[in-house]
Amino acid sequence: MHFPASRPRRLRRTRLIRDLVAETRVYPRDLIFPLFVKEGLSKKEPIEAMPGQYRFSLEELTKEVNELVELGIRNILLFGIPERKDEIGSSAYDREGIVQRTIKKLRDEFSNEITIFTDVCLCQYTTHGHCGVVIGNSVDNDETLKQIAKIAVSHAEAGSDVVAPSGMMDGAVRAIREALDDAGYKDTAIMSYSSKYASVLYGPFREAASSAPKFGDRRGYQMDPRNSDEALREALLDIQEGADIIMVKPATWYLDIIKRLSRLPVPLAAYNVSGEYSMIKLAGEAGFFDEKMAVWEILHSIKRAGADIIITYFAKDYAKWLRSGEIIP
């Protein structure tokens, strides 16, 4: 009988050996935690579509960030939900808007202990729910650029470290970079949602942020899920325009895109989106699998595919499980 000359199982025999030779690890420092701050709230409000997630008042959000810092999560992505909406989303760039006030308070409370990323889009701020200025029945790209440039400057002025345009408007990165530089915010970085696909997985987010479009859909500006070359073209354009970080969104259904864009010469983020979160949460609660291990496996798959940064609603849970020893990095 001929026995195998090589036995890879030797290095899988114990947990300690597996940990020693693991090729991919995910730590809290690799994660960004998205947070919703809502104007007019007096306490945090559960998000029905996303079990375990909340819309926060400004005061409650500060407490939440303090918990995150204690857990080693130092990166947050802010989404604002205003009391007032209009056709052009003007409250998005109000210097006393909900996001701008939140940035200032967090900067005062935590100084440089955290990195503040801020979403730059109009969908939560417009009466129609689209990501730009609507003229007729469609989003006008160039009018939208004027608005998002103002939003980005207002965020930088308040103290945001990284602004993140998410509307998939052509020329958005260039418009924001020029506006930031002209306003004296040359050190404010841009994380571009360079490959944001028109996905069904955004449904829970739209409920959380009250941002569902009132007519039509977003397929006229978000990317077609059938395309891969287009993602590369979009990413290269954004890098040429000045993006410091590029992003793939969603993550787990687009691991091939993450792998492809990971070869580009800037850091790559991947957004583990609301639909991915809710599916795992609900299946875990129903007892179909161990939620902790499902999250562990998914986050490692995203990192293994080539993401440098993972934006995930599981960040806080993951950090807690690590701390308690229930999972390993």
Dump pLDDT digits (tens) for 108-158: 999 989 999 999 999 999 998 888 888 888 889 999 999 999 999 999 999
Dump pLDDT digits (tens) for 208-257: 888 888 888 889 899 999 999 999 999 999 999 999 999 999 999 999 99
**Is position 206 annotated in a ligand binding site?**
yes
205 vs 268 pLDDT, higher one: 268
**Is position 123 annotated in a ligand binding site?**
yes
Residue 26 φ/ψ, nearest 5 degrees: -125, 125
| Count of structural domains, the chain | 1
In a domain, 17, yes or no: no
Confidence band, pLDDT 50/70/90 cuts, at residue 37: very high
Alpha-carbon distance 125 to 128, whole Å?
A: 9
Average pLDDT, the chain: 95
In a domain, 16, yes or no: no
In a domain, 208, yes or no: yes
Catalytic residue among 249, 281, 303, 316: 249
In a domain, 10, yes or no: no
In a domain, 158, yes or no: yes
The domain that contains 36 carries what CATH number? 3.20.20.70
**Is position 74 annotated in a ligand binding site?**
no
In a domain, 71, yes or no: yes
Q: How many CB atoms lie within 10 A of CB 286?
A: 8
What does the pLDDT average to over 288-299? Answer: 97
In a domain, 5, yes or no: no
Q: How many CB atoms lie within 10 A of CB 296?
A: 20
pLDDT on residue 210: 82
**Is position 233 annotated in a ligand binding site?**
no
Active site residue 38: no
Kindly report the CA angle at 21 between 31 and 266, in degrees rounded to 5?
Answer: 40
Catalytic residue among 196, 281, 303, 316: 196
Active site residue 214: no
Alpha-carbon distance 222 to 105, whole Å?
A: 33
**Is position 13 annotated in a ligand binding site?**
no
Q: Is residue 284 over pLDDT 80?
A: yes
In a domain, 105, yes or no: yes
- Domain that includes residue 296, residue range: 24-324
